[in-house]
Amino acid sequence: MGSRRDFIEKITVTALSAPILFNSTSLFATSDEVYEGPMLRVAIMGLGSYGTRVAKAMKTCKRAKLVGVISGTPSKIVDWQATYNIPKKNCYNYDNFDEIKNNPDIDAVYVITPNALHHDQVIRVAKAGKHAICEKPMAINAKDGEEMIKACNDANVKLLVGYRMHFEPNTLEVIRMRKAGEFGDIKFFQGQSGFKIGDPTQWRLNKELAGGGSMMDIGIYSINGARYMVGEEPIWVTAQETKTDPVKFKEGVDETIQFQMGFPSGAVASCLSTYAVSHLDRFYLNGIDGFAEMQPSTGYGPIKGRTHKGPLTEPIVTHQTVQMDEMAKIILENKKPEVPVDGNEAVKDLKIIDAIYEAIKTGKKVML
């Protein structure tokens, strides 16, 4: 298993093949509404496995359309042109994509490249006058993230981040229940995010490209999940790192991190991020009056779970289709999402990641 994308896809296939508590006719269901309004015209930067997943999902979008590509591999551009009917004038490489500023047919660029490249690429997109959508983690540290936000603000363009779970129906139902007080005072959250990573030469195990290891790749799901499940921002973190294979996981590339967070209300979170153990994709939220358990909690779908009131039965959707349609509403209609997906939201996660690495280095509790 080579990457988080592979892991999440495998979790998806496993979940789909197992007995599940929903009507199969609702699988990846979409609304029958006819939409005749403006379309968000998107170019994808980075034509790897996840870029391909997003492109396929956009085929059924109502408000967003794939119109361009940016890649350093000419053969991929040719393939995508044929597959997605992309005109040559909307195709760019990493050296010349600043020229999109002169292309009125592109509204936004979705940056899906290795983590360490996001900072410079998003800033270039902003300077070209285009809205930026960036995969998570938005950057490799909070400082870089804040610079990206400033560049987009200065250019008067929006900066959104690929938090697809913020639009997932079962996730939103748990958030609704928490806001309605159905769990009572929240006391505890547990997040488990991990898989056994494969190819040791991949960019996710290269600190210069990834900015870290499992925490930057899969652990961010538990960080972000804790925040939207508990409904508060943490005020402290502690963390411990375990490394069993220093050859594969070189200096600065974490294999396994256990971390804890404390919240203003007194609620606590206990989380695990790992590249060494497979089949970890679970969230658990506990309040004085009830609980929610989600497993899989962040895979591509279906998200499954239960609360003290019974199974979660919200419609199953293609996450990236819903994400792109909702982001079109945010960009074109200034819609406010239930859970933020902007650059400020991403920097909150990055500040926590920075603090986790500091806690590991110092062995002390780090205040946020």
Which residues lie across from 133 on neighbouring strands? 110, 160
Per the residue annotation, which of 92, 110, 221, 284 is the catalytic one? 221
- Among 158, 106, 213, CA closest to 344: 158
Lateral strand order in the sheet of 108-111: 91-92, 64-70, 40-45, 108-111, 131-134, 159-161
Q: Two tokens at 205?
A: 């195990």
Q: At what angle do helices 220-230 and 169-179 cross, to 10 degrees?
A: 40
- Among 273, 315, 238, CA closest to 28: 315
Annotated active-site residue 136? The verdict is yes
Give the span between the Cα atoms of 84 and 69, in whole angstroms: 10
Distance of CA 232 to CAs 187, 258, 261, 286, 297, Å? 12, 20, 11, 14, 19
Annotated active-site residue 221? The verdict is yes
Give the span between the Cα atoms of 105 and 17, in whole angstroms: 41
Per the residue annotation, which of 130, 136, 158, 348 is the catalytic one? 136
Pairing, β 268-274 against β 256-262: antiparallel
For the chain, state the CA radius of gyration.
Answer: 20
Buried b (16+ CB within 10 A) or exposed e, 252-263: ebbbbbbbbbbb
Q: How far apart are the first and last CA of the chain?
A: 35
Q: Which residues are CB-contacts of 56 (< 8 A; sequence separation ≥ 6)? A: none
Q: Two tokens at 82?
A: 């044929």
Residue 357 exposed, middle or buried by CB count within 10 Å (0-12, 13-18, 19+) = buried
Q: Which residues are catalytic?
A: 136, 221
